[in-house]
Amino acid sequence: MLDPDEIQTYMLNVFDKEQISVEVVFNSVDISVVSDITQYTYDFTVIYYDVYQKYNVERHLEQIQRDIQSYKNIDTPCDIILAVRVGWMFRYSGDGDTPKQLEYVEGWRESQLLQTVKSIGEGEDRKFIVKVEDIEVEIDIHFIEAFMRSLKESNYLEKGVRLDEPLVKGSKINATSLRPLIKFLTEHHNQSPLKMPYGSMDLLMSLISQAPDLYDIITEFEIENKKLTEDKIVEKRKYRIKNLEQEMLNQTNALTKKYDATIDSVEEKYKLISENLYDVGNMKKGDEILTEKLPEVKENITNKYISDLKKINMQEDRKRESILKYTKNTYSFFFYDFDLLVKKIEKGVLRYSTIYDINTVTEPSNVFLYILDYGDSKKWSFK
C-alpha cells in the first residue's frame, strides 16, 4: 500500500512544474481483492484555481500516472488505481455589504449610451447579442455603463488598463455577431469627450470570450445542485414579489389619498358656489350646482380614479409575470480584479449583468460565488 501523502506530493509536482495553481484533496482509499490480487484505489480530487486548465486534465493525469508508476516499488503483487476527479463549485453569498456607489463616467451614462443606440440603429432592445462558439452572450447597455464605471474606480481611465497578469484568450468570438457591438462602441467612443482607455477593448473581449466555459460551469452546477438552485430562484421571486406588492400598495395608497383630497376639495368648492348663489336669491341655480353639477364632476373624478387603479393592477400583473418568467440565479466570477456577474437566461444564452471593480464591494451579495475564485475551504463538496 502506498502512502497517500506521497502520492499527493507527486501529483502536486506535476502542476508545480507548469506553475499551475491547484489544490489536491485526498478523499479515500478503497482496498479490494480481485482474482487473488489486492487492489488499492486512491481517490483524489484536483481543484483547478484556473478553471480553463481543465482542458489539460487528460495530459496532467497521464503525467501523474507515469510518475506514480515509476514511484511504485512494492514486492507484493498488487494493482494501484488512481481515481482523480476535477472539482469546482459555487457557494451562495447572501445579504452582505452594499456595493459602493461608483461615480458615473460622463459621456458613458446609460441615457447617453441609449442615444447612440438609437442614432446608429444597432442594439435591439438596448442589448447586443454576441456569439461565442454555440453560446449567445447578451451585453446590455447597463453592462457597458458599469464596465466604464469600474474602469474609473480602478484608475484605468487615464493610464489605460494595465493588469498584473496577461489577458486570457478564451473561445473564438463570432466576428459577424460582434460587429454591431464594435460599431456601437466605436461610434460612442468617437463622439464622447471621455474615451475608452487603452486596453479596455481587449479586456472586454477577453471577458466575452470566457462565455462557453462559464456556461458549462453553471450548467454542470445546476444539474448537480438542482434543488439548491431552484430554491434560490423561488427565494428571489418571493422577495421581488413582496417588494412589488409593497410598491403597488404605496402607489394605490397615494392615488387614494389624492382622490379623497380631490373629492373633498371639489365638494367644498361647489358648496361655496351654491351658497353664493343662495345669498343672491338664485335658489334654483344653487340647487342645480349641488344636485347636478357636483355629482357629475365627482363621477368623472371617480371614473378616473377607478381607471388609474386598474392601470396599477395591470402594471402589477405584468411585473409579476415578468418576475416569475425572468428571475434567474446570478453567478459571480473573478477576473483581473473585477467581479463579473452573469445569468444563464435560457439554454445556450448567458447575460452579462454587471461588473464591479475589486474596491466596490468585498464580494457580491445574493449570488453564487465561484468558489475557486473567492475561496472558502470549508465549503468543498464533491460527488
**pLDDT tens-digit profile of 337-346?**
889 999 999 9
Alpha carbon distance, N-terminus to C-terminus of the chain: 25
Region of 336 (left: φ > 0; alpha: ψ -120 to 50; beta: rest) is: left
pLDDT of 22: 77
Question: What is the C-alpha to C-alpha distance for residues 348 and 370, in angstroms, rounded to an integer?
Answer: 20
Distances (CA, A) of 207 to 65, 105, 114, 350: 34, 21, 22, 12
Whose CA is closest to 148, among 354, 343, 361?
Answer: 354
pLDDT of 73: 56
Which three three-digit cell numbers place residue 381? 463538496
pTM: 0.68
Residue indicated by cell numbers 479490494? 32
pLDDT of 380: 25
Mapped onto helix, strand or coil, the DSSP state of residue 14 is helix
Question: What is the C-alpha to C-alpha distance for residues 8 and 301, in angstroms, rounded to an integer?
Answer: 80
pLDDT of 335: 85
Question: What is the C-alpha to C-alpha distance for residues 279 and 143, in angstroms, rounded to an integer?
Answer: 68
At a CB cut-off of 8 Å and minimum separation 6, what does 47 contact?
22, 23, 24, 25, 86, 87, 88, 372, 380
Residue indicated by cell numbers 484608475? 155
Question: What is the C-alpha to C-alpha distance for residues 166 and 234, in angstroms, rounded to an integer?
Answer: 39
Residue indicated by cell numbers 480584479? 337
Q: Nearest 5 degrees, angle CA 84-CA 90-CA 93?
A: 155
CATH of 4-87, one of 3.60.20.10, 3.30.70.1420, 3.30.70.120, 3.40.50.300: 3.30.70.1420
Question: What is the C-alpha to C-alpha distance for residues 270 and 277, in angstroms, rounded to an integer?
Answer: 11
**CB-neighbour burial class of residue 356 (10 A; exposed 0-12, middle 13-18, buried 19+):** buried
Contact 269, 242 (CB under 8 A): no
Which three three-digit cell numbers place residue 146? 458599469
Where the chain has pLDDT below 50, the residues are 376-383
pLDDT of 85: 63
